[in-house]
Structure 1
Amino acid sequence: MKFYKPDEYQAGCEALFLQIKSKVLVLLPHARVEHIGASSIPYAVSKGDLDIFVGIESDEFESSVKQLSSLGFQEKVDTLRTAELCMLESILQEDVALQVVANGSEFECFLKYRDLLCSNATLVKQYNELKLSCEDLSLDAYREKKSVFVEWVLAER
């Protein structure tokens, strides 16, 4: 697994985020569309992927998930799927995912995590060290280590 330094990927991810955000808002004008994941955190290393939070009212959740397929996204298999969370992956661009979340649900933790790291350079340093220590691990092992860190950050604050 390869990780990139911020100057190697963040500008490209931000430009792509803005493009996708504008398309999502044309389709779903009442959605909250926010850049999340490592590419949204200053100085964070990353696999170079782009994660986007799409907040939707609960009563529009399922229809919004279906509508987003018209932008070239499909439901990602083998991930948590609930009535309040659906991960979609791009079939047009590699390493682009939408986290479709019911507004007010526990899954707004994606935003909380991003905000905590954006405001704490020590956490970013720890996050980077964790990621770089995983370069020789499988994707599943990396995700497990990362999940423990994310849960610790969210629980401690």
Structure 2
Amino acid sequence: MKFLSPDQYQKACHERFDYYLNQIRRLLPAARVEHVGASSVPGAISKGDLDILIGVDTHELEASARILLTLGFQEKKNTLRTAELCMLESTSEDVAFQVVSIGSEFAAITRTDTLCLVRTIAITRTGTLFVVEFGDN
């Protein structure tokens, strides 16, 4: 796995997020849309992919996922799929949508959670992985 420095990917990821944010809001105006994952954290080293969390009401998840397919996405195969979670991936670029039911355990994956994860797992510029243990505080 190749990791990129922030200057190699973050500007492009933020531009792609803004593009998809507008597209998603046009199709699903009531959805909660968040840029999540390492690319959402300023200065983070990442694979350079874009992860977007899309929160919808439970009874709207299936219809919302079908609507999002029109943006050039497909349901991700060989991954967890429940009534509260549908993973979609772009057919043309390294972008993933996590369509989740608001109020479910999956909706807890937010940018704040990503920041906590980055504090826990630090990746050096050489790609060496260091795990740092933190207490409850």
TM-score, structure 1 normalization? 0.76
1:1-157 equivalences under 5 Å are 1-92=1-92, 94-111=93-110, 114-118=111-115, 123=119, 126-129=121-124, 132-133=127-128
Deviation at 1:90, TM superposition (A): 0.5
Deviation at 1:117, TM superposition (A): 4.6
Deviation at 1:109, TM superposition (A): 2.7
Query: Secondary structure, in 3 states, of the residue corresponding to 1:46?
Result: coil
- Larger helix proportion of the pair: 1
The percentage of counterpart residues that share the same residue type is 49
Counterpart CA distance in 1 for 2:114 and 2:104 is 20
TM-score, structure 2 normalization? 0.87
Deviation at 1:98, TM superposition (A): 0.3
Kindly provide the amino acid, as one letter, of the partner of residue 10 in structure 2: Q
Kindly provide the amino acid, as one letter, of the partner of residue 112 in structure 2: D
Counterpart CA distance in 1 for 2:117 and 2:71 is 35
Counterpart CA distance in 2 for 1:102 and 1:118 is 22
Query: Secondary structure, in 3 states, of the residue corresponding to 2:83?
Result: coil
Deviation at 1:120, TM superposition (A): 8.5
Contact in 2 for aligned 1:42/1:118 (Cα 8 Å): no
Kindly provide the amino acid, as one letter, of the partner of residue 94 in structure 2: D
Q: 1:66 to 1:117 in 2, by over 3 A?
A: closer
Counterpart CA distance in 1 for 2:113 and 2:80 is 23
Deviation at 1:43, TM superposition (A): 1.6
Task: Give unmatched runs, 5+ long, in structure 1.
Answer: 135-148
Runs of 4 or more above 3 Å deviation:
116-121
Query: Secondary structure, in 3 states, of the residue corresponding to 1:132?
Result: coil
Counterpart CA distance in 2 for 1:44 and 1:80 is 26
Query: Secondary structure, in 3 states, of the residue corresponding to 1:83?
Result: coil
Q: Output one character per residue of 1:99-157: Cα deviation in whole Å (capped at 9) or x when no partner.
A: 0010010012311xx31453797x16x3324x9226xxxxxxxxxxxxxx7xx88xx57
Count residues in correspondence. Answer: 135
- Larger strand proportion of the pair: 2
Query: Cα RMSD between the aligned structures?
Result: 2.6
